[in-house]
Amino acid sequence: MRVDSVPEATLRRLPSYYHYLLRLREKGQELISAAQIGVALGVHHTQVRKDLAVTGSQGRPKVGHRVDDLIASIEEFLNWNNVSDAFLVGAGHMGTALLGYEGFERAGVRIVAAFDASPRRAGKKIQGVSVLPVEKFPDLARRMHVVIGILTVPAEDAQGVAEMMVASGIQAIWNFAPIVLELPETVIVEDVALYSSLGVLSRRLAVRRKSAAARDSVRAGP
Amino acid sequence: MRVDSVPEATLRRLPSYYHYLLRLREKGQELISAAQIGVALGVHHTQVRKDLAVTGSQGRPKVGHRVDDLIASIEEFLNWNNVSDAFLVGAGHMGTALLGYEGFERAGVRIVAAFDASPRRAGKKIQGVSVLPVEKFPDLARRMHVVIGILTVPAEDAQGVAEMMVASGIQAIWNFAPIVLELPETVIVEDVALYSSLGVLSRRLAVRRKSAAARDSVRAGP
DNA sequence: TAGATTGTTAATCGATTAACAATC
DNA sequence: TAGATTGTTAATCGATTAACAATC
């Protein structure tokens, strides 16, 4: 049983619309049609309409959608207008990078503390966020009612840390480790699969080279 | 016309199998069945078989697959056994994080130089990789026959830098900026859509809260 | 009004899952 | 051998695209 009837593919496209619309607004554009969005983002215009429809935003025939309305509707639909506190575990390269991002508050997430198992890192401040010993996570998470965990630890530690997070009341995990976490299915896990992305890139490049090589050998003759 | 007949969903799952298999090998396990992989990674066993089939690897009835064979087949299929040089542009938070990753060489990519528009960053070394002025990109890319570009610049600079990359001979771009790049369709673009990921997470969490609240109000009575 | 655009219903397409024969 | 597992073909499911009526 799916809790949310909205297709995941739609959820993934909405942020892309959102950032495009922000840019339009910055340029002062007030109206936009589904077809224009589609062309700009490489999505079929019917698909754009369906995606926007789930947010409840309505356009006017012959006129299009108000950029402001769309932005507000997407924000509300994704709950990006309510910022939730998040704890990050793993203050390594990726963790440090995420702590430096400004844009996540606009996407409903504020990283309020970071944790690390290494005493070398704990005690420091990174990008203005304190790095604490990971032992302090459970107590603090509970006291501050933090329900979002960001997981940027090495793959071999990820499962253990994730379990600690869930035991501390975390309900959603943004996982950067290249493993599939085994957790109660009530926990929301969203993977950032960097290696999946690299796999697609590498394969496409290889296929492209192969077909280019094939063309060249035809051109050169048998 | 699709150049590669293999579904993208399959390409995205293969790296996940790959990392799981690496862990098995480390533990000394020599054989594995599609069903076991499926249980561990949350994929239907038939799907696992189809995915593995595209790599050309074969298993034996009643026995399963040799872990070694699968690893080798996936590596070859994704061309991860041939490492390509890559240039990174944007030595900010995310760029720095990627320069620190050890695992990308195993995924076919070696970052050999970084570039940045800011004179403050250019000239430094980050994680042992030199950061050069972005003006040097075109000439160096051509001379070194670099065809992979990693794009970690702010959103507003991404389109321009991507065009510069393509003009310099780059054939595939790993894009971390939250915009849809408009480039010739011969260019392979692979987006790491952090905000799409956050959108899904935020929405799921909101839906979960809503249904929890609904349950509570029923329990409390009308 | 005419026609551009929306929003919805129907058709198509592709990916996932089910069923089952092959085989070690 | 019996049965666990593979690999393939058929059925189902869900997402995308096409068709079209509604409307400003």
Q: What is the pLDDT of residues B173-190, one digit of tens each?
A: 999 999 999 999 999 999
pLDDT at A219 over 80: no
Q: What is the pLDDT of residues A19-33, one digit of tens each?
A: 999 999 999 999 999
Q: What is the dihedral of CA B208, B179, A65, A107, to 10 degrees?
A: 30
Sort out which chain B residues have CB atoms less than 8 A from A16's CB and list them.
Answer: 178, 180, 193, 195-196
Which among A197, A209, A211 is the top mutation candidate for probing chain B, defined by the most B β-carbons within 10 Å of its own β-carbon? Answer: A197
The verdict on a CB contact (< 8 Å) between B14 and A199 is yes
At A165, phi and psi to the nearest 5? -60, -50
Handedness of CA B124, B126, B128, B133 (dihedral sign): negative
Distance CA A212, CA A209 (A): 5
Query: Domain B84-191, what fold?
Result: Rossmann fold (3.40.50)
CA of B117 to C1' of C14 (A): 43
Q: What is the pLDDT of residue A1?
A: 41
Distance CA B75, CA B18 (A): 8
Determine what percent of chain B is predicted with pLDDT higher than 70: 97
Query: Domain B8-78, what fold?
Result: Arc Repressor Mutant, subunit A (1.10.10)
Q: What is the pLDDT of residue A17?
A: 98
Token pair in block for residue A2? 């799916």
Distance CA A116, CA A105 (A): 22
Distance CA A82, CA A80 (A): 5
**What's the gap in Å between the CA of B220 and the closest CA on chain A?**
22
Which of residues 84 through 123 in chain A touch B, CB cutoff 8 A?
84, 92-94, 96-101, 103-104, 107-109
Cβ neighbors of B12 (< 8 A, separation 6 or more) are A193, A196, A197, A199, A200
Q: What is the pLDDT of residues B97-113, one digit of tens each?
A: 999 998 999 999 999 99
Distance CA A74, CA A54 (A): 9
Residue of B nearest to A23 (CA): B156
Domain boundaries, chain A: 8-78, 84-191, 196-222
Q: Which nt has its C1' nearest the CA of B31?
A: D5
Q: What is the pLDDT of residue A222?
A: 55
**Mean confidence (pLDDT) of chain B:** 94
Distance CA B20, CA B41 (A): 8
Domains A8-78 and A84-191 are alike in CATH topology: no
Read off the pTM: 0.95
